[in-house]
Amino acid sequence: MHKTIEFIGGLAVLAALSSGGALIAGHTGIAVPGPVLGMLVYTGLLLGTTWLDWTLGAARLVASLIGALLVAPLVGVALFGDVAARGGVRLAVLLVVSTALTALATAWLFRAAGGKA
């Protein structure tokens, strides 16, 4: 019972931080999406204090199931199927080349900045 209440409380904290972030973003006009602001606050509190450690169980479960929430927006790609099809081979080449460049730049910058393997 205690675990269930803790879990529901954890979900409430996540929802409150998301909504709070959205409110701040809306009122201040910051371009950063509200839930990202909420995530930054949550990460800061987790790293700097132990106040919200009890929410970690709920957060880990939600994070592990985040894929389930990506399905619905992805279904919307059907509305743009013709646009993607017109991109064709050029789009495929772009995805491969840009992804390779991103990975190599990240690894190179890490080494150049003195990072250790």
Site for other proteins in 52-111 (CB under 8 A): 56, 58-60, 62-63, 65-80, 83-84, 86-87, 90-91, 93-107, 109-111
* Distance (Å, whole) CA 13 – CA 96: 39
5 versus 88: smaller Cβ distance to other proteins? 88
**What's the min distance (Å) between Cβ of 23 and other proteins?**
12
State in angstroms the smallest separation of the CB of 69 from other proteins: 5
Of positions 6, 7, 24, 39, contacts other proteins by CB under 8 A: 39
Distance separating alpha carbons of residues 116 and 62, to the nearest angstrom? 32
Question: Given the complex with other proteins, which of 19 and 28 has the nearer CB atom?
Answer: 19
Identify the residue among 3, 31, 49, 50 touching other proteins (CB under 8 A): 31
Least Å distance between CB 5 and other proteins? Answer: 18
Instruction: Name the CA dihedral angle for 89, 93, 95, 98, rounded to a multiple of 10 degrees.
Output: -160
